Amino acid sequence: MTGNPLDDARSQLREAIDLLGLDEGMYELLAAPRREITVSIPLRRDDGSVEVITGHRVQHNYSRGPGKGGLRYAPDVNLDEVRALAMWMTWKCALLDVPYGGAKGGVAIDPRHYSVAELERVTRRYTSEIAPLIGPAHDIPAPDVGTDEQTMAWMMDTYSVNFGHTVLGVVTGKPISLGGSLGRASATSRGVVIVALQALAHVGLDPRAATAAVQGFGKVGRGAARFLADAGVTVRAVSDQYGGVQHADGLDVAALEAHVDATGSVVGFAGAEPIENPDLLELDVDLLVPAAVEGVINGSNAERVRARLVVEGANGPTTAEADAVLAERGVVVVPDILANAGGVIVSYFEWVQANQAYWWTEDEVEGRLADRMTAAWQHVLAHSRSLDLTLRAAATSLAVKRVADAHLQRGLYP
């Protein structure tokens, strides 16, 4: 990661505020989180020693509904990163018109270096520490980098035990057996590909003649690679934090998934050549899907990105500096708050289902997801055309307007 993602998030907000003609007071209201908490998590390690780990939960905005956002486990998690991610969640929820504000959580831990039992203790203690601030009507966490449905099951259980009854709606991204939604696990990737296919058509490319590279092979990147291949796109390269693999004629994504299940990484996949992460970003492909971490497309490499289209599976993969370079060079960037919104859409569906204790079929979930993603793409594209804006400026200003309207209509208390 390069730079501070909060600077990028604030510069996007500044541009939207200026476009909308809103005043400095509104900028300041939206540039800072409404509420944030930092907690110390004492962990008893398996060997009996005690280690203290830092965790955060930031609620950027809740003027349109409860906070909503993922929980990240990564060694370099810091408060500014969590603040930026929380702000992007506010815009994403507003843009997709799901009735939430934005929030995010982070725990500064590398989950690969801890046992499952240790991760369970960290998760339960973190949940207890932030419990006064979360809940189905307050703030609803979900999985993000380094966390998964098991993490959400522990959070739901810890919260429920503390409150004396089962509260399914406190987190989303839960296992199906515990009130999770069909279609949630693949929702972000599906949404990325729904929008990527729309964007390919927008720039006049047939998916069956198009090539792609995907950075990150986790919950988002892996499904994105699979669904792109299913749509006929030639996936030339993928990577994870250990390295990448490429094949000029396209990777066999199903075989690659089997390799990852067996080894834990894309590295060493037979029948493919190795490629380093920085080179993957500069590969000669039509479509680049960064689906790992923030800031990977930045001032140092934006000039060399050869893709015609960048569809942001990750949150904040393109810095503000790189955004300007890509716009200048005519590279179309489909912004994170649109491209990866499939996850929060189906999280919303999961919360609705959990609160009503009534579950939908997978077809219902996926049909409604596709409808919302397609409508949002069309809305953002039309707005960008009518005002001659980049897709990011169009998406952010549409979202900021909805949040600013909510503030203005609610009024300031007291």
215, 246, 318, 397: residue in contact with ligand NAD (rule CB under 6 A):
215
Cβ 39 vs Cβ 129: under 8 Å? yes
Q: Cβ 39 to ligand NAD, closest distance in Å?
A: 21
Cα dihedral across residues 111, 116, 119, 123: positive or negative: positive
Stretch that binds ligand NAD, among 25-33, 112-120, 212-220, 399-407 (CB under 6 A): 212-220
Cβ proximity of 124 and 44 under 8 Å: no
Which residues in 110-149 contact ligand NAD (CB under 6 A)? 143-146
Residues 333-392 that bind ligand NAD (CB under 6 A): 340, 343
Kind of pairing between the strands at 287-290 and 273-275: unpaired
Instruction: Give yes or no for residue 223 binding ligand NAD (CB under 6 A).
Output: no
By the rule CB under 6 A, 218 interacts with ligand NAD: yes
- Two tokens at 404? 């600013």
Q: Please, which residue, 219 or 259, has the CB nearer to ligand NAD? A: 219
Least distance to ligand NAD from the beta carbon of 220, Å?
4
Answer yes or no: are the C-beta atoms of 96 and 372 closer than 8 Å.
yes
User: Distances in Å between the alpha carbon of 79 and those of 52, 92, 111, 147, 165?
Assistant: 17, 20, 19, 18, 32
Sign for the pseudo-dihedral over CA of 118, 121, 127, 129: negative
- Whether the CB-CB separation of 190 and 344 falls below 8 Å is answered with no
Q: Find the shortest distance in angstroms from Cβ 41 to ligand NAD.
A: 19
In the window 270-329, what residues touch ligand NAD (CB under 6 A)?
277, 291-293, 313-315
Q: State residue 388 phi and psi, 5-degree precision.
A: 55, 55
* Enzyme catalytic residues: 104
Site for ligand NAD in 239-258 (CB under 6 A): 239-241
The CB-nearest residue to ligand NAD is 218
Q: Closer to ligand NAD at the Cβ: 292 or 373?
A: 292
Binding site for ligand NAD (CB under 6 A): 70, 143-146, 188, 215-221, 239-241, 277, 291-293, 313-315, 340, 343
